[in-house]
A = this chain, B = another copy of it.
């Protein structure tokens, strides 16, 4: 049960290990006679030779690994659904290049353990999904010209990918305005913290402002990723003297909780209160009633992010920011059909 090495292949093909390596790795740069090539390939096949990853990494100074970092802490369900779709896109690109994905969850307040992956040279690139970077770490990444693509946050000299959160939210709220609503509340997806751009909330405000509809601070309530938080936030809104007639919720998952609060109160959706969510999670159209929402192009974002990273790993391309369009999906939670 001995492992087969490149020496075995070389012996069988009657060439040196050098030639085996050339045939396997750089068909373009070095000219190998077609006959030798075939002989080597045949030997590889017959022996079932797979190069030892560690030896390759050590000699070539490339790991063919990409670190994927995401937040561990909160029960960030929609982020997680998003995560798997993004991974699907990322993998479709990485598979073509023989890159492997290493998963690393981080706590919000952790020691950035993923940096060790980089220091150990276990990865050639980094994908950060919804994790903020402190300036110490980002400086280090920039200084080393280490390939990075971020989702959800944006940094000056690092590549990033995002969806049109601001525009998507603005269009969602304009949809409600077009339906005649003037008392429109907002439940955010996440609590506000310094440095958080919260583009969805800004889209909400800007839509109201552009249409000259006065904003009511009481009608903006914080959610925190979970349906539970949406339920609580909606109860706050339902306790107000003047009820909103529509609610824009920063994520579908939070909207599920908010809608439950409305049902329990005996009010009807969209008759008494209309709803628009954000994300288009797979269950959104099976909410009661089906939830109008803004679709995030998660798989596409993964694909583009993967390409961005590979261009940087392979060709040293410059850092680039890409923003992908979102799309309003109208269902019956905003207007009876």
Contacts and interface: CB of A to CB of B under 8 A. Distances in A.
Interface of A: 1, 3, 48, 50-58, 63, 65, 68, 72, 75, 77, 80-81, 83-84, 87-88, 91, 100-105, 116-117, 119-122, 143-144, 226-227, 231, 253, 256-257, 259-260, 263, 282-283, 285-288, 290
Given A53-B63, A58-B55, A257-B286, A84 B88 contact: no
Closest 9 A-B residue pairs measured CB to CB? A54-B57, A50-B119, A288-B288, A54-B58, A53-B120, A256-B286, A53-B122, A101-B103, A227-B286
Given A72-B88, A103-B103, A122-B53, A77 B282 contact: yes
Number of copies: 2
Given A288-B260, A288-B263, A50 B105 contact: no
B103 A117 contact: no
A121 B54 CA distance: 8
Contact of A80 (B81, B101, B144): B81
Which has the most chain B C-beta neighbours within 10 Å: A91, A283, A286? Answer: A286
B282 A227 contact: yes
Which has the most chain B C-beta neighbours within 10 Å: A1, A68, A122, A290? Answer: A122
A102 B91 CA distance: 12
A53 B58 CA distance: 8
Contacts of A88: 72, 105
B103 A91 contact: yes
Nearest to A85: B80
B84 A120 contact: no
B121 A53 contact: yes
B53 A283 contact: no
A120 B51 contact: yes
15 contacts: A3-B121, A51-B120, A52-B121, A53-B63, A53-B120, A54-B56, A54-B57, A54-B121, A54-B122, A55-B58, A83-B84, A91-B103, A101-B102, A227-B286, A259-B288
A87 B119 CA distance: 24
